[in-house]
Structure 1
Amino acid sequence: MTLIDRLKADAAPQWAAYTRHSFVQQLGDGSLAPSGFQHYLVQDYLFLIQFARAYALGIYKSHSLTDMRTSLEGVKAILDVELDLHLELCGSWGMSRADIENAPEDTPTMAYTRFVLDAGMAGDLLDLQAALAPCVVGYAEIGAGLAAAGRDTASNPYHRWIREYAGEPYQLLAGEFVGWMDVTANEVLTEARYKRVLSLFEKACRLEIDFWQMGLDAAG
């Protein structure tokens, strides 16, 4: 069992509430109001800027070149791929990069990003990974699940988002993250410490739930 599998099992209620949230279900069946998705996507763009900083913090917290390179790949995936997807989708609504980057951060966005950065600053690489994990692994699970259910058809207005996270590049990145976290855990995790790691993971899941709810609330 990977550490992620163990965390997901021990945080099963939070994980289910996050990955099966009504926002996800409505995104999957295409019934989500465009206003809700647009608000979410703008906020997620702002979130990802801070998430890239958190991955960059992983470089500083790393004890090996391998860990540093893995953290760097996370930064590059966000800056070179994920942010471009958001710009592409927002551009289809007439929003420019400046419009998005100058948008105010909503409270759930601030709460989540600051939590992740604080976890990394106050702790070590494993603490940072525990805070990052729900987003990295959860999006892969959500994307793959929606695609497997046939929700990524062109008739779904959100098929581009689903295909991005169900696609091989993102699935590979998430799989590498799982392995990376196991390597770190093998070096530093003890049973006495596991409770703290689980707490960070659970908190990040709850913040993901709040993030989805923000988008749902914006849908009216």
Structure 2
Amino acid sequence: MTFSTELIEAGTPVLNHIMAHPFVKGIGDGKLSKQALMFYVTQDYNYLNEFLHSDAVALLKSTSREDMQIISQQIDFLLNSESEAHKNFCEVAGTSYASLQGQPMTPTTKLYTNHMLETLKSGDLIDIIAAMTPCPWTYGEIGDRLVEQGKNTADNVFTPWIELYANDDDADETPEQFPFFDILDREAPKYSRERLDQVKRSFLESCEFEWDFWEQSFYQKDWQFLPGVELPVNTSAKAK
């Protein structure tokens, strides 16, 4: 069994809970509250900024052109394509993308990004990639599964979001073929079983943080005793 297969088997129960989450089901059904959509965008914008920092450090720690290309492609997607998913949510919510940027991090977003940033301080390439992988892996699975369920219909307002994350390649592609898993499989033989268990733990923590992210967005979970996310009062502004 490859290390990536081991990670996927361990993370699939969390992925199944993500698929059953009311936010993800709402994407499939085309029905989510404006408040949930706006909350998600404010926090995902914050999260992706830190994800880019992880990508940058991973690029510096890479020693092969193959790994560098994989990470560079991820950076390109984040900078030039992923904003389309945010804009889809903003359009449905009736607000502008710019108005939701620069908001404070919530507790969940802060915990998740701190988890990733910790690997930058003390981890190797395998640690950084393991902490990052659950985000693109679970989103790709969400897109693929919603397409398999026939949710990307013309009348679903979230079809652009679904199709952005769904796999465009051969339908027979397996999760193990996701490029970040390739990096993990190349790095894994360098480490002991005890060390790989630590990497696996970090991967699974990020999987759980992914579920937490959907949870906080659906229920708008913010700081209880501190000023938190200030969503714009006028939600009817033209989407950008």
TM over 0.5: yes
Contact 1:61 / 1:125 at 8 angstroms: preserved in 2?
yes
The size of the alignment, in residue pairs, is 216
User: 1:94 and 2:95 equivalent?
Assistant: yes
Q: TM-score, normalised by structure 2?
A: 0.80
Distance 2:156 2:115 in 1: 33
Match of 2:217 among 197, 215, 218: 215
1:84 Cα offset (Å): 4.1
Structure richer in helix, relative to its length: 1
User: 1:179 and 2:177 equivalent?
Assistant: no
1:2 Cα offset (Å): 4.0
Structure 1: runs of 5 or more not aligned: none
Structure 2: runs of 5 or more not aligned: 222-240
Distance 2:88 2:29 in 1: 21
Deviates more, 1:82-91 or 1:101-110: 82-91
Q: TM-score, normalised by structure 1?
A: 0.86
Contact 1:53 / 1:75 at 8 angstroms: preserved in 2?
no
State the identity %: 30
Distance 2:121 2:53 in 1: 11
Matches of residues 75-86 of structure 1 in structure 2 within 5 Å? 75-86=75-86
The alignment's C-alpha RMSD in Å is 2.5
Deviations 1:98-150 (A, max 9, x none): x2222222221111112112123211011111101111111111110001100
1:167 Cα offset (Å): 4.3
Distance 2:107 2:32 in 1: 21
Deviates more, 1:198-207 or 1:11-20: 11-20
Distance 2:192 2:209 in 1: 26
Which residue matches 1:29? 29
Change (3 A) 1:36 1:84: same
Contact 1:2 / 1:182 at 8 angstroms: preserved in 2?
yes
Contact 1:41 / 1:86 at 8 angstroms: preserved in 2?
yes
1:189 partner letter: Y
Greater Cα radius of gyration, structure 1 or 2: 2
Which residue matches 2:232? none
Contact 1:108 / 1:210 at 8 angstroms: preserved in 2?
yes
